[in-house]
Amino acid sequence: MCLAVPGQVKSISERDGTLMADVDFGGVRKDVCLQYVPDATVGEYVVVHVGFAIQRLDEESAKQTLANFEQLGILEEEFGAK
Amino acid sequence: MKYLDEFSDPVLARRLLDQIHAVTTRPWAMMEVCGGQTHSIIRHGIDQLLPPGIEMIHGPGCPVCVTPLEMIDRALAIASQPGVIFCSFGDMLRVPGSGRDLFTVKSAGADVRVVYSPLDALNIARDNPDREVVFFGIGFETTAPANAMTVYQARRLGVRNFSLLVSHVLVPPAIAAIMEAPNCRVQAFLAAGHVCSVMGTSLYPALAARYRVPIVVTGFEPLDILEGIRQTVVQLESGSFAVTNAYPRVVPPEGNVPARQMLEDVFEVTDRTWRGIGMIPASGWRLSSRYREFDAEERFAVGEIHTDESPLCRAGEVLQGHIKPHECSAFGKECTPRNPLGATMVSSEGACAAYYAYRRLDLVEVGA
């Protein structure tokens, strides 16, 4: 139920006074309500749950986390602590 | 897909696992609250790669599983009424009520429809002004903003033939209830990342301090889960019990402010019964008085409901982490995803369904 998937905002429009976006999930396109992430822009990634963007995906943070994983254990290996 | 594949990288997974092995000196038991995380752990075999003493206790974070039987029976009664279009997420259709489920009711002629989003149900209501359209609004804090927005829109657009059958549940009171249970073995929590992406993390430091348990906000991909476990073990080994965030790309500390404001307007806190667990005080949301006219419980009189739970099913013990699914004698025998006795065997987040889908050859006697 709490499954939420990142997708890329392709276009933004207003429908019945509600902010909606066309979001691309690796080739699958869905209509998504953007009312909770109103400042998302075209090209950005948002995290979508049951047709609603609930957060923007912070790409910088994603890259930083992966870079941290790359570094894990490297120091110990270099200093022969393992 | 972008940002899913990157967080499934096997080389980095090995690196994280090595770190977990390196920092672990003794056994620890931690609970992943969210059923989505349970599925990811079992599907990828993460629990089998951990140091032998590290136990993952599967938590009650499966909304389909904890929706009270009385509410399922109420849904079945409403769906059976003439003129009603009953809309639900697909997971709910096979959840056993007292003797039947939404599929049975549908095959008997009721108009039951699976929707992807609650907004789809609202559109069905606008397209069918002469019918009553009910959406089964279940879920944790992740799903509640979608249902809140839908009711808000129904009121704003004057869609009076729409109503919500609400059975929302909340994570922090469940964590407290688990820690207060007399036989609790949980020493730390992986907090549900998407719940926190909506609600933020402000409620957790008080829980961590009161129960002296580390709480690590954790995502859903293999690397996210391994990093959540790594941060948890590091804390446990050092005797610390802080709240840390292993899912910062999706969880800012404040959560989603517009969503929280909407939740505040549309819902109010209420006591809620959790299927298999019992009543947990202040553990749910119901519609606030401003939106009460859209409450399906108020709109439909269904008479008295007498519930009847399977005597074989031990889902309650599974949901509280007292037993693992395969320790139930009905697992894989009387109870399968095709013929589930309890909701934990139905849901894509139920622990029994996860064990059945990914491990049945290991655990169920062949030919039994």
Say how far apart CA A2 and CA B34 lie, in whole Å.
8
- Cα B303–B305–B309 angle (5° rounding)? 165
Interval A19-77: pLDDT, tens? 999 999 999 999 999 999 999 999 999 999 999 999 999 999 999 999 999 888 765 55
Nearest one of A16, A4, A50 to B136, comparing CA atoms: A50
Find out whether B325 and B340 touch, Cβ atoms under 8 Å.
no
Instruction: Determine which helix (DSSP H) or strand (DSSP E) holds B57, and give its type and residue range.
Output: strand B54-61
Q: CB–CB of A1 and B140 under 8 A?
A: yes
Total number of residues shown for chain A: 82
Which residue ranges make up each domain of chain A?
A: 5-78
Tell me the fold of A5-78: SH3 type barrels. (2.30.30)
DSSP run (H or E) holding B269: strand B267-274
CA distance A41 to chain B (A): 16
Q: Do A54 and B119 touch (CB under 8 A)?
A: no
**Dihedral pair phi/psi, residue B264, rounded to 5°:** -60, -35
Q: Would the CATH topology of B6-64+180-245 be identical to that of B69-170+276-299?
A: yes
CA torsion A7-A13-A14-A20 (nearest 10°) is -10
Query: What's the gap in Å between the CA of B172 and the closest CA on chain A?
Result: 16
- Quick: pLDDT tens for B100-141: 999 999 999 999 999 999 999 999 999 999 999 999 999 999
Domain ranges within chain B, ordered by starting residue: 6-64+180-245, 69-170+276-299, 315-360
pTM: 0.93
Q: Flag whether pLDDT at B329 surpasses 70.
A: yes
* pLDDT, tens digit (0-9, with 9 covering 90-100), for B263-310: 999 999 999 999 988 999 999 999 999 999 999 999 998 888 889 888
Residue of A nearest to B62 (CA): A1
Tokens of B9: 């990288």
**Residues B149, A35: C-beta atoms closer than 8 Å:** yes
* Edge-first strand listing for the sheet containing B28-34: B54-61, B28-34, B188-192, B215-218, B243-245
Structure tokens at B360: 């049945």
pLDDT(A81) > 50: no
CATH number of B6-64+180-245: 3.40.50.11750
Q: What are phi and psi of B62, to 5 degrees?
A: -130, 100
Contacts of B220 in chain A (CB under 8 A): 3
Query: Cβ of A75 under 8 Å from any chain B Cβ?
Result: no
- What local confidence, expressed as pLDDT, does residue A82 receive? 40
- DSSP 8-state assignment for residue B329: T
Q: Do B223 and A69 touch (CB under 8 A)?
A: yes
| Cross-strand pairs, B32 | B58, B190
Average pLDDT of chain B is 94
d(CA B318, CA B313): 10
Give the model's confidence band at B1: pLDDT under 50 very low, under 70 low, under 90 confident, else very high.
Answer: low
* A12 touching B (Cβ < 8 Å): no
CATH superfamily of B69-170+276-299: HypD, alpha/beta domain 2 (3.40.50.11740)
Residues of A in contact with B3 (CB under 8 A): 6, 45, 57, 62
How do beta strands B188-192 and B28-34 pair? parallel
Chain B partners of A1 at a C-beta cutoff of 8 Å? 35-36, 62-64, 89, 91, 138-140, 142-143, 347-349
